[in-house]
Amino acid sequence: MKVPLLDLNAQYQSISKEIKAAIDEVVTSQRFIMGPQVGELEKRFADYINSKYAVGVASGTDALLLSLMALGVGHGDEVITTPYTFFATAGSISRVGAKPVFVDIDPNTYNIDPALIEAKISSNTKAIIPVHLYGQCASMDSILGIASKHNLAVIEDACQSVGATYNGRPAGTMGDFGCFSFFPSKNLGCFGDGGMLTTNDEQYAEKTSKLRVHGCSQKYFHDMIGANSRLDNLQAAILIVKLKYLEDWTNARRSHAKKYNEAFSSISEIITPVVTDNTNHVYNQYMIRSNKRDAIMDSLKKNDVGCALYYPLPLHLQECYKFLGYKEGDLPESEAAAKETLSIPVYPELTEEQQNKVIDVAINALKQ
Ligand SMILES: *Cc1c(COP(=O)(O)O)cnc(C)c1O
């Protein structure tokens, strides 16, 4: 029996009729760019996460990029973020001409450690980008407190945490901007690239709505220099269907996580995710941590169980960031997490039989 890390086909089969009808509607209308489905999805998405505004964009990366552009972050500015994330978080900072300043993570949650932020704030710092990694919110109370004390903007990278909450507040509604990705492997994924930017500020919503269409409010009249970063209307139609099921899918992920937590609770060599009291985890990934990570990984692979490293090399040690001058040992918790963590299947459609296999293989790997 094969157990993939993610089974998008199983999910598609369960809703294929509805999806095909939604696609057909767009195709029949031939309205591919900024058709009515984009606006409808924006409204539904804003309602779902309880944000005032939502702006559909081409990807999660572009949501980050347009947020930084709307804030006017650019050359000479610094933005504080975590090195233990997908590349796009830091890449977007660099693409507007600013400098990413990396702050190490809390080893329990893998999210940026707020206690280490203030030491990295300089007169050039303009913003903080906390990442709600794997589906669990960063310590937003502390982060927002530091930001307001130093007059910094906060952009939440919520690309892995649609539907997650922190003290009852949804991811993507606490900072100046929330950035979401609809990359197929995300909890709410479309059939290609797509993203959403959220904000409670009317002016930011207006500005980013313009920035995604070359900075124009009226066709061929440009108030600012923007980008071509619209959410495709076909993707919006697909996402309208999928959003209805998201809560059920998230609950299935949580119940799989609970089963793993219980199964591994007596295994001292496997550390399960630490969920802080005030957060509601949505398990975009379920990560185990072990100093025998590689043995577990090899065994899972040999037994046809999907698993993956998120992320094998922290961003401060990437080739393209050599010029920033970091060296190994500078951000030890991120480096240790990169060596010891492993993502195992937690997708909603995972069957009981499949999950039992994952558990057995992982535990047996430690006996060898
Ligand atoms: C997926 C992801 C992104 C980028 O989203 P894309 O839609 O692939 O551009 C950014 N940050 C994090 C943390 C992500 O997981």
Q: Note the pLDDT of residue 157.
A: 98
Do 233 and 330 sit in the same domain of this protein?
Answer: no
Do 17 and 57 sit in the same domain of this protein?
Answer: yes
For residue range 112-121, list pLDDT tens digits in order.
999 999 999 9
- Which residue's CA lies nearest to atom 10 of ligand 1? 88
* 246 band by pLDDT with thresholds 50, 70 and 90: very high
Do 168 and 303 sit in the same domain of this protein?
Answer: no
Tell me, yes or no, if the pTM score tops 0.85.
yes
Query: Is the pLDDT confidence value at 98 over 90?
Result: yes
Mutate to test the pocket of ligand 1, among 68, 161, 183 (most ligand atoms within 8 A of CB): 183
Mutate to test the pocket of ligand 1, among 94, 159, 309 (most ligand atoms within 8 A of CB): 159
Q: Which of residues 208, 225, 243 is at a domain's end?
A: 243
85 lines ligand 1 (CB under 6 A): yes
Query: Is the pLDDT confidence value at 18 over 80?
Result: yes
26 lines ligand 1 (CB under 6 A): no
129-146: average pLDDT:
98
Do 236 and 264 sit in the same domain of this protein?
Answer: no
Average pLDDT, the chain: 97
19-25: average pLDDT:
98
160 lines ligand 1 (CB under 6 A): yes
Q: Note the pLDDT of residue 65.
A: 98
Q: Note the pLDDT of residue 217.
A: 87
Q: Which of residues 243, 267, 299 is at a domain's end?
A: 243
161 lines ligand 1 (CB under 6 A): no
Asked whether 175 and 228 are in contact (CB, 8 A), the reply is no
Query: Is the pLDDT confidence value at 35 over 80?
Result: yes
Query: Is the pLDDT confidence value at 257 over 80?
Result: yes
What is the distance in A from the centroid of ligand 1 to the CA of 110? 16
60-68: average pLDDT:
98
Structural domain for 264, as ranges? 246-365
How many structural domains is the chain composed of? 2
- Which atom of ligand 1 lies at the shortest distance from residue 194's CA? 7
- Which residue's CA lies nearest to atom 14 of ligand 1? 159
Query: Is the pLDDT confidence value at 93 over 80?
Result: yes
96 lines ligand 1 (CB under 6 A): no
Read off the CATH number of the domain in which 295 is found: 3.90.1150.10
183 lines ligand 1 (CB under 6 A): yes
For residue 2, is it within any domain? no
131 lines ligand 1 (CB under 6 A): yes
What is the distance in A from the centroid of ligand 1 to the CA of 191? 15
* 368 band by pLDDT with thresholds 50, 70 and 90: confident
- Which atom of ligand 1 lies at the shortest distance from residue 186's CA? 1
Q: Note the pLDDT of residue 48.
A: 98
For residue 123, is it within any domain? yes
* 345 band by pLDDT with thresholds 50, 70 and 90: very high
For residue 3, is it within any domain? no
Do 191 and 289 sit in the same domain of this protein?
Answer: no
- Which atom of ligand 1 lies at the shortest distance from residue 182's CA? 7
- Which atom of ligand 1 lies at the shortest distance from residue 193's CA? 7
88 lines ligand 1 (CB under 6 A): yes
For residue 158, is it within any domain? yes
* 298 band by pLDDT with thresholds 50, 70 and 90: very high
Do 322 and 237 sit in the same domain of this protein?
Answer: no
- Which residue's CA lies nearest to atom 2 of ligand 1? 159
Read off the CATH number of the domain in which 200 is found: 3.40.640.10
Do 200 and 280 sit in the same domain of this protein?
Answer: no
285-296: average pLDDT:
98
195 lines ligand 1 (CB under 6 A): yes
What is the distance in A from the centroid of ligand 1 to the CA of 226? 20
Residues in Cβ contact with 60 at an 8 Å cutoff, skipping those fewer than 6 apart: 88, 157, 159, 179, 180, 181, 182, 183, 186, 195
Q: Which of residues 243, 261, 296 is at a domain's end?
A: 243
Q: Cα torsion for 240, 281, 195, 145, to the nearest 10°?
A: 130
